[in-house]
């Protein structure tokens, strides 16, 4: 294979793979919309600067096509490739092929994949283990969402549409098991079944690292070794004496009855303590000295859109977070209020997909009441969804929040949101947290008059 073409090359996963194949020496081309995303600069850093609009003409001389899962057989380039007999793989399929000759560390779980993958990648990078990396967002230590290396392949393993069944884990991490993606999974049992099938692929000389504080994770079975992490001392790896203040965590780490030492890291909330403990469990399997683990965490700079500090607008500190599921929102908001107890919190939330908002409407409302004040931006509608229920459903969510005693404002778009903050909040102080899987970060960027 000499030339590979990526359909939807600006996507978080496809852009990461494209960079790796470019650094492997292949001729990489790609198509996508003309809109600018954070991945444009990352692709350019790997020498991929010519991104074209979709056309059958783009397939001349192409040996293989890899496409984002957002596109199907009706896409002009996918359709044309199949008609011409050019092999076509989805992003999960292509990532699976990349794993064929690699030992892998694959991070799964409904929440926390990107941060945990970044922590582990940073750990392996700082200890000279030369990882190959595929992450769902930009890692500030790596400077991209991917890295080419000769060591372990460290990658996110997403459960949606059972994508992770394409992968071969040597070490499988399961951060948690929760019911998300109601447009695909029937219920929580269906989700658990998907995770068990993924874990079944761990070889006898491999390992499962799972959150031991969750009963569902405890039920997972594997042929390999099992290591549990958590906050309960019954786990193999656990933490005590947690301290957090203004976005920094400090805690003691134990391996069964032995105290390994103290970790300090720039992160927020107990969920990130768990992400760090999963990383520590990996380090024990790879015989990395704990002093090196401590040094890696001390230098960890975080991840794009994971409680990402953006700057200051008058008296407001601006942060941005990808949380888009009720449990993620609740976890992040609780952690924020604990870490910044004296700051007024305005959460600017943009629901992501009609189906998810419908399914978890009351859960979203309850989670958002943890904020002092809420701004709702009209639902970011998935390309997979038809109809125009977004506006009515956004107002329904607002009423649910209002009925719980919280002040809530609804805006139609990012421009309206930024204008309202400039008009109504310019003489106040506190934290503004933009939150969601869509483009809501743009409100904070507009307030700062910069782009990410």
352: annotated binding-site residue?
Answer: no
Q: Count other C-beta atoms under 10 Å from residue 75's C-beta.
A: 18
CA distance 63 to 231: 49
Dihedrals phi, psi of 133, to nearest 5 degrees = -130, 135
What residues contact residue 41 under an 8 Å CB cut-off, 6+ apart?
Answer: none
25: annotated binding-site residue?
Answer: no
CA distance 416 to 222: 51
112: annotated binding-site residue?
Answer: yes
**Residue 134 host element (H or E):** strand 132-139
CA distance 209 to 277: 10
Kindly state the DSSP code that residue 303 receives in the 8-state scheme. Answer: B
Residue 249 corresponds to which tokens in the numbers above?
């965590």
Cα-Cα-Cα-Cα dihedral of 242, 245, 247, 253, to 10°?
-20
Report H helices in 288-384.
Answer: 290-299, 326-339, 354-359, 361-368
C-beta separation of 310 from 445 below 8 A: yes
Kindly state the DSSP code that residue 160 receives in the 8-state scheme. Answer: G
Rg (CA), the chain: 22
Give the 3-state secondary structure of residue 425: coil
CA distance 358 to 394: 10
CA distance 324 to 285: 32
The residue length of the chain stands at 452
CA distance 6 to 29: 6
Dihedrals phi, psi of 274, to nearest 5 degrees = -65, -40
Binding-site residues from annotation for ATP: 109-115
Binding-site residues from annotation: 109-115
């Amino acid at each position: 294979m000499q030339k590979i073409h990526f359909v939807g090359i600006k996507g978080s996963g496809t852009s990461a793979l494209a960079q790796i194949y470019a650094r492997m020496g292949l001729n990489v081309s790609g198509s996508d919309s003309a809109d600018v995303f954070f991945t444009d600069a990352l692709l350019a850093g790997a020498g991929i600067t010519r991104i074209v609009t979709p056309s059958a003409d783009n397939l001349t001389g192409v040996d293989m096509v890899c496409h984002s899962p957002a596109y199907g057989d009706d896409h002009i380039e996918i359709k044309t490739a199949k008609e011409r007999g050019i092999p076509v793989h989805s992003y999960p399929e292509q990532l699976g092929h990349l794993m064929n000759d690699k030992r892998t560390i694959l991070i799964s779980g409904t929440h926390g994949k990107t941060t945990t993958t970044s922590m582990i990648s940073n750990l392996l990078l700082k200890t000279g283990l030369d990882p190959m990396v595929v992450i769902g967002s930009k890692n500030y230590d790596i400077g991209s969402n991917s890295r080419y290396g000769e060591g372990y392949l460290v990658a996110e393993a997403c459960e949606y549409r059972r994508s992770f069944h394409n992968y071969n884990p040597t070490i499988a991490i399961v951060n948690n098991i929760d019911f998300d993606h109601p447009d695909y999974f029937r219920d929580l049992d269906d989700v658990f079944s998907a995770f068990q099938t993924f874990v079944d692929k761990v070889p006898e000389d491999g390992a499962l690292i799972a959150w031991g504080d969750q009963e569902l994770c405890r039920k997972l079975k594997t042929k390999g070794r099992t290591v549990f992490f958590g906050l309960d001392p019954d786990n193999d790896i656990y933490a005590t004496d947690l301290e957090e203040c203004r976005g920094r965590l400090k805690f003691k780490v134990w391996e069964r009855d032995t105290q390994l030492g103290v970790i300090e890291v720039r992160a927020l909330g107990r969920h990130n303590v768990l992400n760090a403990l999963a990383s520590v469990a990996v380090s024990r399997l790879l015989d990395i000295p704990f002093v090196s683990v401590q040094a890696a965490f001390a230098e960890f700079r975080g991840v794009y859109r994971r409680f990402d500090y953006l700057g200051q607008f008058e008296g407001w500190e601006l942060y941005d977070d990808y949380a888009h599921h009720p449990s993620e929102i609740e976890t992040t908001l609780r952690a924020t209020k604990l870490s910044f107890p004296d700051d007024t919190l305005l959460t600017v939330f943009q629901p992501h997909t009609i189906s998810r908002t419908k399914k978890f409407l009351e859960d979203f409302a309850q989670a958002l009441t943890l904020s002092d004040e809420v701004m709702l931006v009209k639902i970011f509608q998935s390309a997979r969804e038809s109809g125009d229920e977004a506006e009515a459903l956004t107002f329904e969510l607002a009423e649910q929040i209002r009925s719980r005693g919280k002040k809530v404002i609804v805006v139609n778009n990012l421009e309206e949101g930024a204008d309202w903050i400039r008009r109504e909040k310019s003489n106040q102080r506190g934290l503004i947290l933009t939150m969601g899987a869509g483009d809501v970060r743009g409100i904070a960027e507009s307030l700062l008059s910069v782009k990410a």
